[in-house]
Structure 1
Amino acid sequence: MDWVSWFDAPEYGFARQVLQRGVAALFFVAFLSSLNQFPALLGERGLLPVPDYLEGFSARRRPTLFRWRYSDRLLRGVCLTGLAISALLVAGIPQLGPPWVPLIAFLALWLLYMSIVNVGQTFYGFGWEMLLLEAGFTVAFLGSDQTEPPRTILLLLAWLVFRLEFGAGMIKIRGGREWRDLTALYYHHETQPMPGPLSRQAHLLPKPFHRLEVLGNHFAQLVVPFFIFAPQPLASAAAGIIIFTQLWLVASGNFAWLNWMAIVLAFAAVSDPVAHAVLPFLPLDGDPEEGSNPPYWLAITLVATMLLVVLSYWPVRNLLSKGQLMNASFNRWQLVNTYGAFGTVTKHRVEIVVEGTLDEEPEDSADWREYAFKGKPGDLRRLPRQWAPYHLRLDWLMWFLPLRTVHEEWFYAFLTKLLEADQRTLRLLRADPFDGDPPRWVRVNSYLYRFATRAEFRETGERWVRMPLYEAIPPLSLGGSRRRRR
């Protein structure tokens, strides 16, 4: 039948390999991040303990394996299981069997990670969490090496790329004026949540180049996504532009696995002949075996296609709405979501600096020492590190504090953990200035940070220049003692 032959897409074998292994690799990173950080942030004795959260939890609204019981041991079991399955998929082992084997593997990753996200509270409130879940569910239906890639699933993955890119572009056009007057990147490289090692150099580029960056961004997000549905080789060219722009974002910042996921998903539009033309060492597969897709697999993928098409109604309506939502899910399974980021750009970088002292009295003359974070700026001389696709959740939330309020429950819990010298919490930091001893007092100050000019860097060796702003939280000690300034 003609429609059955159209359903098969044998010319996208390389794309399937990239999609399955790439998404699995990002699941591996996500589970590793949770294994290392979740117990300290959200565990039984974490900053926002999951057992307390589950007391008022609606399982119908947020499905999770932790619905009945949470323990740090169970969380580690979930993460280790996710790591093992992800590693097998990256190695391509489940793909060697019937198509239902990688299907079950990816659906297991989806359910395991959704269980973590749905109790992760503010520490898991990022758009790339739902992006990973949606991508994992969708690539589950790409089949195995024994079948041909299903065209409808590839189209749905292209549709995911479209929503990711076009949604982000529309958020910017509808957002701050700086995106429309092309000045957004005068600031963004400097004020983004977690700069990378090249962010300062990107910020110091001439302003005309920054305006070209914004124009290029608008072209890549508002025009190019339409062409990923075009015939080949135009679709592959559109995917190539998306990949190139995402690589620039990878080089200039740390946005967890957001950019890496966009790169992986863009391969849904790259055909084997184009991939071979660009990378001649890639083999071109011969003609696929006729009738290699069993009827049951055709039925499964068509049901999945119809489900995702029906769920697309709400994201389409959101894209066309003047009140467009950013990073929102319209169902409790977090499928076919809407995406977007940085509708407005912060013009100034305010950093929250946490200090402690061993002195009896918390006067300004006391020996105050700063706690050093792994990713967020602090030390003026330190070159920002490249962390993405790994996600430093504490560091990211620290960026939001001056934009919202420092008086958040998790932040006061964090300060208490510092006063207790809690080892799990201290392991989230780059350095403890007290080598494991509990300080008597902690306080929180705010500073205005900016990148040093090239002349300033040559003179001082410092990559950042900072100016004190105000005391955000006066000195605190265990037992609720609080020293107020006179």
Structure 2
Amino acid sequence: MEWFIAPDYWTSRLVFQRALAGVYLVAFLTAALQFRALIGERGMLPVPRFVERVPFKAAPSLFQLRYSDRFFAGCAWSGCAVSAALLAGLDSVVPLWGAMLLWLIPWVLYLSIVNVGQTWYSFGWESLLLEVGFLAVFLGNDEVAPPIVVLFLLRWILFRVEFGAGLIKMRGDACWRKLTCLEYHHETQPMPGPLSWFFHHLPRPLHRVEVAANHITQLVVPVLLFTPQPIATAAASLMIVTQLWLVLSGNFSWLNWITIVLALSAVRFPSDPPAVPDAPLWYEVVVLAVAALLLCLSYHPVANMISRRQVMNRSFDPLHLVNTYGAFGSVSRIRYEVVIEGTADDVPRADSDWREYEFKGKPGDPRHWPRQFAPYHLRLDWLMWFAALSPAYAGSWFGALVERLLENDRDTLKLLRRSPFPPDEPPRYIRARLFLYRYTTWRELRETGACWERTYVREYLPPTRLAGVTQRL
């Protein structure tokens, strides 16, 4: 069937597949390096405890069948290996069915991780990677031209990502409608990047231009994805430029990068596709059946998107096949941070030798300039931002974090930038305090060298020793 294929998108598919494999590689590497402290057998939210109370049908996962830290590590590093092979182009040198199986492996492995990841894996970009990764299974390889149906479905995801995010902003915080949200956002976003301080200090009129451009990109441009070329390419290119602006201004894990990957699938690159035989009948049947399934499953995301009670980042099926997205429906005006400190003193007092734990990404020492970590995802740092918003967000894991710090747990300390205590001399007490953070001015930066100024607000967790963690949290 000639209508089934789109040979002009041969290069677009190649670029999309290699870029997606790169995102998969980062996701699996993040899981492999962080899981023991977060969801391992001695983690803050252990997988064995989770699978005891959640049935397989509610959270399909290989780890529902068997779990050990060694097995999880094997799956995560296997995901890295397969992703690297796909990045190198292994799917191009195997039969069509073999390429489909190769793309299915990282999807199954990452679905297994997300479905037992609990709070640590509750972000929208997890579902987005799974939804895009599932479609990649059916995009084909060098034996067939790209199926136009799959390309359409990739644009459908991109439309929902951008249009849904635009709607949640217009329906949410009034500052989006007043064009003032970016006067606060660069300072209060979950994890600032190395350039966020400078973005925050842009002139206010330019902040208004940023917001207006965002509305155009998310509410108008997505419709153009379904227009003929070269308009669709221009629309996708504009989205890519917008996402690169966001990459420069913050640390949003791979959210911006997976959106860029999606947009690349809509860009028609100049190409001279090779002559290939018609797609096998079995392949056409499978692709059309999957497309019909995904369109049917799109009912709930669309209903949510047009609802006045629109919610952000929700999956409507346990396989994360079709999801709803959105970000920053509300923007914080001020920034709070939880600062964790420990002391080796036998009796904790206000004048004790309290030493601060330093995190890799979240603000701490006012003189420590933020670093660029995205697309790598610092999961603990992100959850610490939520913990500062309200202790309710940290109720399931913060007590376990304190306990691990009191034990000088090696895997937990690997998640931090620096522990103030030697490995064999854990603190006797841990406390947490809430601070108000704000960016310094240009003058303050020159005089002090600090990019942040912080003010003590209140006690977040009173001094707690190992035996008292359970009682206090």
Correspondence for 1:132: 129
Shift of 1:483: 12
Correspondence for 2:342: 356
Whole-angstrom CA distance in 2 between matches of 1:56 and 1:296: 40
Distance 1:128 1:482, change over 3 A: closer
Deviates more, 1:195-204 or 1:293-302: 293-302
Cα offsets for 1:48-85 (capped at 9, x unmatched): 11111111111111100011221100101111111111
Q: Residue 466 in 1 paired to residue 454 in 2?
A: yes
8 Å contact from structure 1 (residues 351, 447) kept in 2: yes
Equivalent AA in structure 1 for residue 384 of structure 2 = M
Whole-angstrom CA distance in 2 between matches of 1:232 and 1:179: 31
Cα offsets for 1:110-160 (capped at 9, x unmatched): 111111111111001100000000010011111001210000100000000
Give % identity. Answer: 54
With normalisation by structure 1, the TM-score equals 0.95
Whole-angstrom CA distance in 2 between matches of 1:481 and 1:410: 12
Structure-to-structure mapping, 1:195-234, within 5 angstroms: 195-234=192-231
Cα offsets for 1:406-431 (capped at 9, x unmatched): 66131011001111111111111000
Correspondence for 2:395: 408
Q: Residue 328 in 1 paired to residue 314 in 2?
A: yes
User: Deviating runs (4+, > 6 A) in structure 1?
Assistant: 481-484
Cα offsets for 1:387-407 (capped at 9, x unmatched): 011000000000001222166
Distance 1:289 1:400, change over 3 A: same
Cα offsets for 1:299-349 (capped at 9, x unmatched): 221112111111112211111111112111111111111100100001100
Correspondence for 2:356: 370
Whole-angstrom CA distance in 1 between matches of 2:396 and 2:322: 32
Find the residue that maps to 2:323 and give its secondary structure: coil
With normalisation by structure 2, the TM-score equals 0.97
8 Å contact from structure 1 (residues 54, 67) kept in 2: yes
Correspondence for 1:187: 184
Name which of 396, 408, 418 aligns with 2:382. 396
Shift of 1:367: 0.6
Shift of 1:290: 5.3
Correspondence for 2:434: 446
Name which of 161, 165, 175 aligns with 1:164. 161
Whole-angstrom CA distance in 1 between matches of 2:284 and 2:51: 40
Whole-angstrom CA distance in 1 between matches of 2:298 and 2:333: 35
Whole-angstrom CA distance in 1 between matches of 2:420 and 2:461: 19
Structure-to-structure mapping, 1:271-290, within 5 angstroms: 271-273=268-270, 284-286=271-273, 288-289=274-275
Shift of 1:481: 7.3
Shift of 1:482: 10
Whole-angstrom CA distance in 1 between matches of 2:265 and 2:226: 10
Name which of 129, 147, 154 aligns with 2:151. 154
Equivalent AA in structure 1 for residue 86 of structure 2 = L
Whole-angstrom CA distance in 1 between matches of 2:326 and 2:357: 33
Name which of 80, 92, 99 aligns with 2:96. 99
Whole-angstrom CA distance in 2 between matches of 1:268 and 1:149: 10
Structure-to-structure mapping, 1:73-84, within 5 angstroms: 73-84=70-81
8 Å contact from structure 2 (residues 444, 450) kept in 1: yes
8 Å contact from structure 2 (residues 59, 318) kept in 1: yes
Equivalent AA in structure 1 for residue 13 of structure 2 = R
8 Å contact from structure 2 (residues 343, 354) kept in 1: yes
Structure-to-structure mapping, 1:310-321, within 5 angstroms: 310-321=296-307
Deviates more, 1:301-310 or 1:423-432: 301-310
Correspondence for 2:105: 108
Whole-angstrom CA distance in 2 between matches of 1:371 and 1:320: 44
Whole-angstrom CA distance in 1 between matches of 2:195 and 2:414: 26
8 Å contact from structure 1 (residues 357, 369) kept in 2: yes
Shift of 1:95: 2.0
Q: Residue 477 in 1 paired to residue 459 in 2?
A: no
8 Å contact from structure 1 (residues 474, 482) kept in 2: no
Correspondence for 1:16: 13
Q: Residue 69 in 1 paired to residue 61 in 2?
A: no
Shift of 1:357: 0.6
Whole-angstrom CA distance in 2 between matches of 1:365 and 1:337: 51
Unaligned runs of 5+ in 1: 274-283
8 Å contact from structure 1 (residues 10, 149) kept in 2: yes
8 Å contact from structure 1 (residues 448, 466) kept in 2: yes
Cα offsets for 1:164-193 (capped at 9, x unmatched): 000000000010101110110000000000
**Corresponding pairs, count:** 470
Cα offsets for 1:70-113 (capped at 9, x unmatched): 11001011111111110111001122222222211121111111
Equivalent AA in structure 2 for residue 457 of structure 1 = L
Find the residue that maps to 2:431 and give its secondary structure: strand
Equivalent AA in structure 1 for residue 376 of structure 2 = Y
Whole-angstrom CA distance in 1 between matches of 2:67 and 2:10: 41
Find the residue that maps to 1:70 and give its secondary structure: coil
Distance 1:198 1:64, change over 3 A: same
